[in-house]
Each structure stands twice: as structure tokens, then as C-alpha cells.
Structure 1
Amino acid sequence: MNPDRHARTMLPIPDLPAPGLTTYDAKNPDTAFPPIEPLVPPEGAPNVLIVLIDDVGFGASSAFGGPCEMPAAERLAANGLKYNRFHTTALCAPTRQAMLTGRNHHSVGMGSITETATSAPGNSSLRPNTKAPLATTLKLNGYSTAQFGKCHEVPVWQSSPMGPFDAWPSAGGGFETFYGFIGGENNQWEPALYNGTTPVEPPATAEEGYHLTEDLADHAISWVRTQKALMPDKPFFMYFAPGATHAPHHVPTEWADKYAGRFAGGWDAQRENTFARQKELGVIPADAELTPRHDEIPGWDDMPDELKPVLERQMEVYAGFLEHTDFHVGRVLDAIEDLGALDNTLVYYIIGDNGASAEGTVNGAFNEMANFNGMAALETPEFMVSKMSELGTPSSYNHYAVGWAWAMNSPLQWTKQVASHWGGTRNGTIVHWPNGVEEKGGLRTQFTHCIDVAPTILEAAGLPEPTMVNGVQQSPMEGTSMLYSFNEPDTPERHDLQYFEMFGNRGIYYKGWSAVTKHRTPWVMTGGALAAFDDDVWELYDGSVDFSQARDLSAEQPERLHELQRLWLIEAVKYNVLPIDDRGAERLNPDLAGRPTLIHGTLQMLYAGMGRLSENSVVSIKNKSFSVTAEIEVPEGGADGVIIAQGGRFGGWSVFLSGGAAKFVYNVLGIQSFATEARSQVPAGTHQVRMEFAYDGGGLAKGGDVALYYDGEEVGTGRVGATQAMIFSADETTDIGYESGTSVSPDYTAHSSRFTGKIHWVKIDTGDDDHEHLIDPDERLRVAMARQ
């Protein structure tokens, strides 16, 4: 059966046995059946590689005039096409879900991030089954499919080891292979990894030279070599999405050192240097203007002199991180080229899933968890100076300052999260396909958007959009194929209408014009009331002569502005943007937001071997009294190891046995550590070990008294001076009987943490002590938004 006889609009393609003679004896000479034909796409369908880098502004990459060297990107661009008006959604999870489905982010339920999902269709974080992902379509048409890296599209209540796995890449996402992490960010040195849906540990330690990006590239190379060795005639679809260069900015020191002294002039000067280089390269028009720095962004000259060396180092580390990432992308490209497959591989190299991130505060951060917990004051200039040499290393969890994010978006206004202005949504993109693109080193200026990627790939492969997938009728893709622009540089743009919205920041593009309004500043998460939506101030720009949105024409052309505002509202209704939602506490409380939650009540039972439990999967013990009771079995000679641990090196707590005695350690941001140890060892046999923490109360992040018990008898007391109010970690988890990732206490490592006795059960109980009302709603929102 030749599947090309079918229109391929119904997936899976129905199996239709051919009628014919059926003989009684297979030896009968009239016995004949058509040969079994493997399912393959139409002849000539290319391999596909999408590379999506994280948190990179338009003006960061050397390919688009920036200071961060990206030779692999430059090499692709020299033999392919640059798109200088390609757009994302201003945030990671929405961009990814939109790109992978060919639909607008609210259409697929990803109006913001999964952590702030509501029951509204546009913000539920649930992709409707009427909008199947591209990977599913390609797989059901005969492609081999694989994803390596970041997946932040799993609803938070489905992200535990029990799933359900419908939204995970290798279960419901259409990828036959997945190796990477679930969530918004990860420690590059000690990540929480999954192989498919199975938690796995990194193959080496940071001390042994491990880095996540290199590991992802190794897996991608191994997979593509195996695919071409075993299925040389079958095309592949690979999605390579490293967590780089999202914070924490982790990179081997030698890569950061390559940029020593390069940023001594500060971010104002760097922005001007980039602007000049962009014009020299021709990636922006000769008449483009450099937009001014807004008052909310501090000038370089206004920063404390003693902090400037630290600020320089932050940018050196980031630049090294981006070049390091590009190097490993280059390794993947080299592997495909060595296989003789690069000429017929359609490569999308999308340099950023949104604009550069301004979530690192005006001073940057050594441990961004300090800011997330409202404790940024701990990171004084003196502290930052003392930690400067550690930036980027395994002992840091660092992010650069707001000013660098602004500079990396040159020449555009604003940053990540600001969907109204191009600084949040315009990302340099490269397309490389020697068999399909005639011009080498060309520039394309048509307006394009991440929802255009999926329809482009389908058209390049000669495949129709499916009308039915797994028995469910499909809605049409909302993007526009970019294939027309590959070899027709002067053809008018076909994607000429596009709305934008993120946390109330919103805009509309229509036939060259854009009307925009900024509702919220990314790094200002607390204090002050937001304006009513109808009171937001709108701006108007003519993109045909104003590349960077530098000249606001709203006062000169109010009627055109009003027309575009109405058009935004029409598009918002069409794609489930309404109601616009800038709420704080309501969106972070699952009951009020209307999303499911795994945790109910004040008590939770856990069992040996459970692990990789996100904070959404464990009852919260923050800002309250709580107890941990474990029934354990200790062999003759005693036991050691972790009973339960939550968080890691950059904040968390652990109950464990050390030298046979119970110990409780509370680690505040890796800056302060408080330990309580029992006076005696746990005897051999079955016993209950209990830790009680009596919270002081009276506000957030207070301390408390600690008591340890064996079978109800007090064996130790201690004191915790302070606690973390909001979050322990964006990537570290809770484990029973061991600790994955980094360790809360230096008394053990992840490799030596496994409990040497037997754990029957562990119970966390907060009783009726609930101080959750003490947490300011704005604080909750700030933490959630900063984690994507």
C-alpha cells in the first residue's frame, strides 16, 4: 500500500488492505501479496532541525551585531537566510507551545506560564486535542522525532512522576525520544533530568567536567547518527532546546574569561556599539534609530563604582554562556553534515524564545532565589564583590542585571515579558536549507512569527495540515508558511496581522503598523497599583519606516490608533485572550484560579524511593510550624543517609542520619545554614525519628525552634535563625531515602546520600498552623513570573 494514495489529512493514515485472491496454500503459485512498505513522508521531504535558544535578545548574537560570538549561527547565516522581523510571544512556555502547534499561544491554552494557569481557556496551560502538535503530525507521516532539552509546557499538576503524561514530549507531544528537563529553568551543572518520563541522573559531575548543554548535544548527536545508520531513507525531526541561556548563567570559567574586559564601558556604551555593528552588517535598516533608555532602567554611570566589576563579570559570564551554547549547537550541525544530511535538512536557528531577560534585578544576582524569596537585601554590594569569582560556577545560581538585558535587545525598546514592544518579541532567526534555499547569506524582512514555523515545515515536506488526528477533528493552523519568502526576497509579507499579549502588556501588528501598550514592568513585581486596562497609554508606530519603534505617532494619527485598538480587541476575542488577566494571588492559588492541585490538606505521606517531586507536589512547610516523622529500620552497626530532603545547595532542608545520629539542616539560600543534631545514635531495629519545627510567627521568613525525637523521647534541640518564605528552588526537588541534584548539607553528596537502612514511611504534618495569609499577593506573582 502506498500511503501517498491518501491525502494524509486523516492521521493515523487508515490501513486499507487491498482486495484480491486469497489462496488456501501459501505454496500455490497464484499466492501473492503486495510487499509491506514502511511509512515515509512524500519523496523529497527534508530532515528538520529546530534549535531554540532561551532568553536571548535581538542584539546579543554576533550574527545580528551583538557582542556574543556565535560562529555556528554565523556559518549557517552565511549559507542561508537571516530573518530580522521574526517574532515570539515574549515568554518561554507560550512561545514553545505556539511554535510546536502553529497556533497562537492563547489558542493552545498557554497565555502565560504553567505556574499561573487558570480555568480560562486561553490560560489553562492545556493544549486542546483539536490542535495536535507538529511532532505528532510528522511522526504519523513517517518522520523519526526527538526532542532534547527544555519542556515548560507541562501543566504543573501533571509534572510529578505520576503524570498524567499527555503533555510530556515523548507521551503526548509526538516525540518518540525525549531527553531533557521539565520546567522553566535548570541547574546546568547538576540538572534534574528525564529520559522519556523516567527520572535519570546526569552521567557525570561538575567536577568531572559535566555541563547540561554538552550532555544534550551528546544525546542529540548519538540519536541522529543512529537514526541515519538504521533508517537512512527516513527523514528526522529534531527539536534541540537547551536551557541555555536562561538563568542560572552557568558556564565553564574559560568561556567567560574570553570576554574579560569587553564590557568595561557598561550597558549604555554596549548598546551603542551593537547598534553601530548592526548597521554595518545590514541586519537593521540604515535609517533605524536607537531607542532611548527608559527611566525605569538605571544608567551605567548611576551604578555604584564598587559594584561595576561584578556587573562586568555578569555580562562576561552570560556572553561566554551563549558562545558555549552555540559551540554545542555547532557540534550537532557538524554531526548532521558528517552524515551527508545537512544539505537536505531544513534548519531553524531561533536565537531566543523571547527578548533578553530583565528578571535579574537592577544589580543582578549571585543566587536568584534570594530575590524570589524577598531577601535580595542579603546580596549587598560587598557580598557580590566577595562572590564575583564564583559567578557561573557550580556554587552560584546567577543572573545578570536589568541594564544588560536592555543592552542585549538593541536597538529595541524593553525586554522579555513585554509583549507590547519588539524588545520582548523580536528574535533574530536563521533558516538554512541548501536544497531549498537558493540565496546564500540573504536577509529577509517580511514580518514572521513563531506560529509560522509549523506550517512552513509541513509545506516544505509536501504534507497537508491534518483535518483529523487520532479521531479528533482539527482546527486550522493560525500561522502562515514562510516558504514563499525562501526564494522570493521581495515578495510582500503574507503574515500581516498578529496580536500580542502577556500579563496585560499587549500590542497589534497590521500591515506595517503597530499599536502597543505596556501595562507592567518585568522587574517591578511589588508595590504600586497597576493601571486599569482602559487607562493604559497606547503608542503607534509605522514599521515601514521605523524598524525599532522609536517614533510614537499616536498624537499625530489618533484615528489609526483607535482602529488598531479595535482590531486588537477583535483578535483577542478570536483567540481566547479575553479576559485579560493581570491578577496576582488569585492566579497562584489553585482553588481561586480553578486549576487542579495534587496537594490537599495539611498532612502528606511519602515512601522510600519517591523522588523528583517538585514543590507543587509536596505540602508547603514555609512560614509555619511543621513536623517530619519517619519510621525507619536501622541495621546492626547503625545507618547513615538522607531520610527526606527538599531543595538543595541554594536553599532547602534535610532530615538525615550522620554517624548514626539524626540531624536536621535548614539551608537559607546557600548563605546561612542551621543544624540541629541528636545527642545519640538511632538504635538498631525499627524506630520512629521525628523532627518538630516551631515557627516563631509574626511575619514571613522568620526562624523557629527545632526538637528531635526517637520514639517520642527528645534527643536534641536547636534553633533556625531564618527561613525561606516563597520558594526553595526552581529545579531542585524532594526525595525520600536519597537526594538528587545538589545537596542541602555538605555532610553528604548526592552520591553518598542514599539511606543505608530501610524507610517504611515519612509523614509531613503542618497541623493547623497556616500562615499563608501573611504572603503578599504581589510577592507570589513575582516569584511565579520569574521562574519561567
Structure 2
Amino acid sequence: MLSKKLLPLALLLVSGLSLSLAPPTQPAAKKPNIVIILADDMGYSDIGCFGSDARTPNLDALATGGLKMTNFYNASRCCPSRASLLTGLYQHQAGVGDMVNTRPQPAYQGYLNKNCVTIAEALKVGGYNTFMAGKWHVGQAPEHWPVKRGFDHYFGLIDGANSYFENRPYRPNQKLTIALDDKPYTPGPGYYSTDAYTDHALEFIDQSKSSGKPFFLYLAYQAPHWPLHARPEDIAKYKGKFMAGWDKLREQRFQRLQNLGVVNKNTKLSPRDERVPAWESLSQEEKVRWDEKMAVYCAMIDRMDQNIGKLRQKLRDLGQDQNTVIMFLSDNGGSSESIKGNGFLPEIIEANKKPSSDPSSFTAYEFPGANVSDVPFRFFKHWTYEGGTATPFIAYGPGIVKPGRTDATPGHLIDLMSTCLDLAQVTYPKTYNSNQIKPTEGLSLVPVFKGQSWRGHNALFFEHEGNRAVRQGKWKLVSEFPANKWQLYDLEADRSELHDLSATNPQKVQELTAMYDKWATHAEVIPFEKLSKAGEY
């Protein structure tokens, strides 16, 4: 038995032993910065690591050091995709079921509603600084601008398209807005939108570095949406490189896609679109004009990649490169749109006749260019075939994204909300500003990033202006408006959707149709022919 003199010492020793055996207090995991980079109207095979002729060393490096998802989807058009990305909902549920047209139906009101939250709103509550630079296009009235939807700072284009060199309306009675935070902004000499978006984004990051908070940056580039505008030094890299013509260019891209493992060996290159003439049928003058268009288009993607390099360098300079997750994707497939009538101003129609390398021009990539951009697929932006909805997707993040992988698991824009909140350890809200918030439709991609098993989606759904689709596993049911005839494709055997199997698989058609109809009711989809026609693009 211990003496009274030794007891205090014994208690001290036991106490010390007890303390030494207690598990050490673990510091709270540092929340990562999160960056989402969105390209505009960029096709599936328009960056180097997905087969392009464009030089994209920075994106290629992100892919090599991270993850490429080859079956990732958008909503096939600019504003619906942006609404879905920002909210984790299908676009109809967020109020942007079509474009930014003003319609009385809540699902088609043309701006984000109050029953959704943006990633910025959710992360801001979770202690993040929130920044955006680039194209907004989900609410044109000032009360719907980014700073009213959770972003601390914003710089960019509120509208859907603009000159890259100035603020230049292109439709009658149109007012386009470039804004800094909540005030209109007038560009000065030397302005080029891709550079300006990045420069302001870096300023926002710089200004916040002393706050001690992580940041969320949504960098929504305008490139390579029409008009085709690039800096002369970038165009010079590509001019003359496309004179072999689009048939050979498509074959070369397809071969690269297969060599890179982006598409499987069962995939076939879709035939040249019927709206595109054979290259050899063009005059020499027409060939030179199209070579220049393709050169300018690649130059726009090249400049976007250069700016992504500037962002990466800023992260290194700030010591944040090892604590930042970067995700990259496009809002829809390649654009077949043209600048020919359709409500364009007369001076814009005239500007469309100029060479694309002229800064005063106003040209588009049209069907021939989009048919190259969307290799190996058929169709384009606006349709719900793979050519309209499939996007390259890259995720990069040291310690979070397992590097050097290609994953064919289907994912969707709706997943980005859940992914960001998972990374930030923030709970998706049931209410926000006293409004009931619709449950998110997405799933966190973090398990995919880490190379872990992922339950994935039972099915993914698509609808835009009457074009419809549902994908479940390898099966995809798709129809185009106004024919409204369901077609069925086995995407494992036929990713390019060349062989319609609906006649031999009527039960599968019936099963997927029932799934689509149930989802359409849930998502508040209205048949396009029944929508009231009002407003403008």
C-alpha cells in the first residue's frame, strides 16, 4: 500500500500516463479551394487530351495528373446547362427549362428561381469566399445577377454572346451587359474577354488571400462560342493547317480518340453530316475561308488554355496548388449555328462576310466546323444525341483525385453541386432565405475522383425544346423535335448512335419511355409545342 507521501506522486504518474495514451487531437482537415471551369459551345473532341488539333498543354496536364470522364453529360444548350450546373437540379426545376425567354410557366421563367440554391450560396454559408468570372446567362435583370445569387465578386458577360473585343449588340433593340460586381462595365482598349475574365478572377483570389478562407471560383469562359474572335498571334499558330479538309480532320481526330482510350474499339466514326459538303467540292477560295475559321476556332481554345495556365501559376504562387480541386467541362456540344438572318442586325450580317481573323468580323463555325468538333458523334448543340450532350470532363486535385485515370462511368452536370459540397464538408440546405429548397438531383463524384466504387445514377434524363432522351446503363432512348419518334441505342456497342434498335427491342423502349414520362412530370417539363411563345434569346 502506498504511503501518504508517495500517493500524490503516484497519482501524477498515472495521470501523465493516462494523458500520454489519449489519442492526439486531430486538426480539422483543411477545406480545399474549388474551381469549376466551363467552356462555351465546345465540342467533345476540341481539346488535346480528347483528340483535338488545338494546343491545350494545361488541360492536358490536368488530365494526366487527374481524371478524364468520357461519359459525362450537359443539358445540350447554354442557359439550361448553366442553371443545372449551378443548382444541382435539372434545368426546369431551377426555372430555366428553355432559354432566358420570359414565360409565365415557373419552370420556364428564364432565370433561377428561389426554390434552388447556387453552389456559391451553399458554399458561402459554409465559410467560403465565392467568385465568378465569365458568362452568366441565367438571369438578365440586375436582381438576378451573380452577386444576388451568392457570389462575393463577379466580372463578365451577363448575356449569351458578345464580341470578344468590345460590347457589341448583334440583334435589334438588344442591350448587352458586361458587369463588374453589380455595375455595368465598359471595356477599354486591348480588351479580349478570355483574358479579362481570368485577370479579374485572379484579382478576386488575390484580394481574398488574407481572409484565411478557402475559395470557390466559377470561371465560365465565353470561348469558343460565336463570334469567332482570336488574337493574331494565336491565329498564326494554326492558319493553313486545315487545308486537308474536314473529312481527313475528322478521321485523324477519331484515330486519336481511340489511341487515347477516350472511346472504345466498338465505336465507329459517324458519317459526315448531310448538311456538310465534301471538302473537294469547295472552291479554293472557300477552302481558304474555312481553314481560317478553323484556325480562329482553335486559337480561341488555345487562348483559353493559356489562361487556365495563368490560373494554375497563381495557385502555385500563393501556395494553394496542392489544396485546390479543378473541374473542367463544356456546356454543350459543338455549335452548328450560323449568322444568317434569324433576327441579326444588318451590320452583323455584313460583318459575317469578313474573314474570321478580322476583329470587326462576326462569324460562326456552322455545321462544317461543328461536325469536326463533335467527332465521333452525330448532331450538335440543341439536340439530345451524344453530339449535343456529351462533354469532355477533367478533374484534378492532389490528394483527392487519383491521377492518370480514364473513367467511363456516366456523370452529369447535376452532380457538381453534391461534389462541391462533399469536398467542402457542407450540407445541402433544405431551406435558404426562408424558401423551401428542392432536393438535389445529383450525386457526389468524390468517390469517382478517389478511384473508389460509386453507385452512380439509375438513369439520366434530357429535354430541350422538345428534344428528349433518357440513358440507363448502356441504353439510350432519344428523339428529336418535332418528329418525336423514339430511337434506341446501345451506347456500349454504338456510342455514335448509328444503329436504331427500337424495332427489335420494343419492351426496352416501353420501359425507358415510362421512366422518361415519370421524370418529365417530376421535373415540370412541358411539351415544347404547348409552351407559350414570348421573349427572345
Q: TM-score, structure 2 length as denominator? A: 0.89
For residues 58-457 of structure 1, the aligned pairs below 5 Å read 58-115=44-101, 117-155=102-140, 158=141, 163=142, 165=143, 167-171=144-148, 173-191=149-167, 192-202=177-187, 204-205=188-189, 209-228=190-209, 230-231=210-211, 233-350=212-329, 352-360=330-338, 368=339, 370=341, 372-373=343-344, 384=353, 387-388=354-355, 391-419=356-384, 421-437=385-401, 439-457=402-420
Alignment of 1:615-694 (within 5 A): none
Distance 1:578 1:378 in 2: 34
The residue correspondences of 1:41-60 to structure 2 (distance < 5 A) are 43-60=29-46
* Aligned counterparts of 1:82 and 1:582: Cα–Cα separation in 2: 39
Change (3 A) 1:408 1:211: same
**Greater RCO, 1 or 2 (C-alpha within 8 Å, sep 6+):** 2
Counterpart CA distance in 2 for 1:276 and 1:339 is 40
| 2:340–2:349 CA contact under 8 A, matched in 1 | no
* Distance verdict in 2 for CA 1:177–1:374, change over 3 Å: closer
Query: Structure 2 stretches of 5 or more lacking a match?
Result: 1-26, 168-176
Counting only pairs closer than 5 Å after superposition, residues 3-42 of structure 1 correspond to structure 2 as none
Q: 1:294 & 1:314 partners in 2: Cα distance?
A: 18
Indicate how the Cα distance of structure 1 residues 457 and 377 shifts in structure 2: closer, same or farther if over 3 A, else same.
Answer: closer
What amino acid is aligned across from residue 174 of structure 1 in structure 2? G
- Structure 2: distance between partners of 1:73 and 1:377: 33
User: Given residue 506 of structure 1, which amino acid in structure 2 is its aligned partner?
Assistant: R
User: Is contact 1:311-1:401 (8 Å) kept?
Assistant: no
The alignment yields a C-alpha RMSD, in angstroms, of 2.2
Q: Give the letter for the 2:533 counterpart.
A: R
CA distance, structure 2, for counterparts of residue 406 and residue 493 of structure 1: 34
Is the 1:247–1:399 Cα contact (8 Å) retained in structure 2? yes
Letter in 2 for 1:511: G
Instruction: Compute the displacement of 1:507 (Å).
Output: 0.6
Counterpart contact for 2:123–2:424, Cα < 8 Å: no
TM-score by length of 1: 0.61
Distance 1:395 1:370 in 2: 18
Report the Cα distance in structure 1 between the residues aligned to 2:303 and 2:105, rounded to whole angstroms: 40
Alpha-carbon distance between aligned partners in 1 of 2:530 and 2:334, rounded to the nearest angstrom: 22
Tell me the secondary structure at the aligned position of residue 322 of structure 2: coil
Question: Quick check: 1:252–1:393 contact (8 Å CA) kept in 2?
Answer: no
Matched, 1:578 2:515: no
1:428 match: secondary structure: strand
State the secondary structure of the residue aligned to 1:151.
coil
What is the CA-CA distance between 1:52 and the residue it aligns to? Answer: 0.5
- Aligned-pair CA distance for 1:376: 11
Structure (1/2) with the larger strand percentage: 1
| 2:426 is equivalent to residue 487 of structure 1 | no
Question: Relative to total residues, which structure has the larger helix share, 1 or 2?
Answer: 2
| Aligned 8 A contact 1:49 1:239 in 2 | yes
Q: 1:283 to 1:561 in 2, by over 3 A?
A: same
- Number of aligned residue pairs: 502
Distance 1:242 1:378, change over 3 A: closer
Distance (Å, rounded) in 2 between the aligned partners of 1:304 and 1:251: 25
- Provide, for residues 214-241 of structure 1, a one-character-per-residue CA deviation record: whole Å limited to 9, x for no partner: 111111112212222x12x310001111
Q: C-alpha displacement at 1:582, in angstroms?
A: 7.2
Contact 1:370 1:376 in 2 (8 A): no
Change (3 A) 1:472 1:378: closer
Contact 1:405 1:415 in 2 (8 A): yes
SS in structure 1 of the partner of residue 406 of structure 2: strand
Q: How does 1:554-565 map to 2 (within 5 A)?
A: 554-565=502-513
Aligned to 1:226, what secondary structure does the other structure show? helix
In the alignment, residue 317 of structure 2 is paired with which amino acid?
D
CA contact (8 A) 1:108 1:125 kept: no
Counterpart amino acid of residue 236 in structure 1: F
Aligned counterparts of 2:469 and 2:276: Cα–Cα separation in 1: 22
* Cα distance, 1:570 vs structure 2: 1.1
> What CA distance in whole angstroms lies between the structure 1 residues aligned with 2:222 and 2:431?
33
